[in-house]
Amino acid sequence: MTAYLIGDLDVFDMPTIEDYRAKALPLVEKFGGRALALESSPLELENWKSGSMILLEFPNRKAIENLFASAEYAPLAAQRQSAAKSKLVAIDALD
């Protein structure tokens, strides 16, 4: 079942995040994912103060878990965490 990774980042070091994205997005693709949306100024509708948001699609939740557990992603996670306060969640599609 298709799964989505949703990220909400409060970025305080944009050059580092841009470098992270340049490295992380090809790795996302390696794990079967693809970026669907990236927004630096999301429209806030109700009770949600957000930063930069991203929506990634994966073939299933296991692919997301594998990405996050990989040795390749570990240094990138640390890079992201050093440059932004991150909230990440994975959800299943309605398929």
49: Cα within 13 Å, side-chain hemisphere: 1
What global pTM score does this model have? 0.92
User: What CATH number labels 3-42+49-92?
Assistant: 3.30.70.100
SS3 state at 47: coil
Q: How confident is the model at residue 31 (pLDDT cuts 50, 70, 90)?
A: very high
Q: How confident is the model at residue 75 (pLDDT cuts 50, 70, 90)?
A: very high
Give kind and range of the element (H or E) at residue 27.
helix 14-30
CB 4 within 8 A of CB 38: no
Please report how the helices 14-30 and 74-83 are oriented relative to each other, as an axis angle in degrees rounded to 10.
150
Give the pLDDT score at 51.
85
Mean per-residue pLDDT over the chain, rounded: 95
